[in-house]
């Protein structure tokens, strides 16, 4: 079991386009949002490799709610702790 701590979690945004036209109009075909940050990325990689990991860190505001939602669907551990600070 590896425990990771992400001090600065982020929402990663990935866009998909058909072709990159430098200086031209690039139309987005698909947008994906994902939870990211070094510790979160390490925990996701450990999981993909068949290991177990606990991702910890600090979340706040609307971005924190989004990250928590994404991680609860990704890891489905059922354990979430929060405090009002």
Say how many CA atoms lie within 13 Å of 40 toward its Cβ: 21
CA 81 to chain CA mean position, Å? 17
Q: What confidence score (pLDDT) does residue 20 get?
A: 94
The pLDDT score that the predictor gives to residue 77 is 61
**Residue 80 in domain:** no
Rounded to whole angstroms, how far apart are CA atoms 47 and 85?
Answer: 30
For residue 64, the enclosing domain spans 2-16+32-75
Residue 13 has pLDDT above 80, yes or no: yes
Asked, for residue 52, whether it belongs to a domain, the answer is yes
- In which region does residue 73 sit, left (phi positive, over 0), alpha (psi from -120 to 50) or beta (all else)? alpha
Return the C-alpha torsion angle 66, 68, 73, 77, nearest 10.
180
Global pTM value: 0.75
The tens digit of pLDDT for each residue in 67-80 reads 888 888 777 665 56
The pLDDT assigned to 76 comes to 67
Average pLDDT for residues 20-46, to the nearest whole number? Answer: 94
Number of domains the chain is built from: 1
Q: How many CA atoms lie within 13 A of 19 on its CB side?
A: 4
Q: Is residue 26 part of a domain?
A: no
């Amino acid at each position: 079991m590896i425990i990771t701590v992400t001090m600065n979690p982020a929402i990663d945004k990935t866009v998909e386009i058909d072709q990159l036209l430098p200086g031209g109009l690039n139309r987005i075909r698909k947008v994906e949002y994902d939870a990211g940050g070094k510790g979160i990325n390490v925990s996701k990689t450990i999981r993909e490799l068949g290991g177990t990991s606990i991702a910890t860190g600090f979340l706040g505001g609307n971005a924190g709610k989004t990250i928590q939602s994404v991680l609860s669907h990704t890891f489905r551990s059922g354990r979430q702790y929060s405090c009002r600070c």
